Amino acid sequence: EIVLTQSPGTLSLSPGERATLSCRASQSVNSNYLAWYQKKPGQAPRLLIYGVSNRATGMPDRFSGSGSGTDFTLTISRLEPEDFAVYYCQQYGNSSWTFGQGTKVEIK
Amino acid sequence: QVQLQQAGPGLVKPSQTLSLTCAVSGDSISSNSAIWNWIRQSPSRGLEWLGRTYYRSEWHNDYAVSVKSRIIIDPDTSKNQFSLHLNSVTPDDTAVYFCARGVTAGDYWGQGTLVTVSS
């Protein structure tokens, strides 16, 4: 099973700043099936990015994904107040999904 | 617009079976391109994929190794919904359970159901 490790655990930033979140896989992610979600308390995860760099329908272009193999990055170019949340990466392989442990983006 | 609506009890006794349903609108669970998943989230386990069901000329299932001996996910085409059954539950199965549509990632999710395992 591929293990996803996200860093940092918490990112303290101010609105308008740039956020860079990392997701490292224990082995190469199959066909770059790597996705990112935003999660807020009491809500379901919301798909932001799929296939490493494809924005999901309706997602603002301040969200972007990059990477390949075992190292992936989610960048939020300029934080808006509604972007403060927990972000998870997720990979698909061997007919299953695995998730990272999450990075919390909090207001500094 | 695809919508997934979850239903089921919020409290289950230890050793009993946890059962939840996920009613789908805006898509067919019998679609040859969709896959229907169950995921849970708890403080101890984080987000954990449990299993999936899908139709490709016949129904298929895949389950997470961690729950494979205790789980059944089954479709109900007459109601366009699918269900999760997790038997022999323990307090460690206490979590928020989600259903979701997606093959390589989840694009539509249910609202989540907090299930507490307690006597």
Which pLDDT score is estimated for B46? 95
Which pLDDT score is estimated for B50? 98
Which pLDDT score is estimated for A30? 85
| Cβ-defined contact of B111 to A44 (cutoff 8 Å) | yes
pLDDT in tens, B10-27: 999 999 999 999 999 999
If we measure between CA atoms, which residue out of B75, B34, B67 comes closest to residue B49? B67
pLDDT > 70: percent of chain A: 100
| Cβ-defined contact of A44 to B110 (cutoff 8 Å) | yes
Which residues 66-105 in chain B show a CB within 8 A of chain A? 98, 100, 102-105
pLDDT in tens, A46-83: 999 999 999 999 999 999 999 999 999 999 999 999 99
| Cβ-defined contact of A97 to B65 (cutoff 8 Å) | no
For chain B, list residues with pLDDT below 50.
none
Residues of A in contact with B65 (CB under 8 A): 1
- Substitution target in A4, A31, A97 with the highest count of B β-carbons within 10 Å is A97
Which pLDDT score is estimated for A1? 87
Supply φ then ψ for residue B21, to 5 degrees: -120, 155
β A71-76/A4-7 pair status: unpaired
Burial label, B36 (beta-carbon count in 10 A; 0-12, 13-18, 19+):
buried
Answer whether A93 touches B (CB < 8 Å): no
Task: For residue A74, give how far its alpha carbon lies from the nearest alpha carbon of chain B (Å).
Answer: 16
The model's confidence at residue A32, banded by pLDDT at 50, 70 and 90, is confident
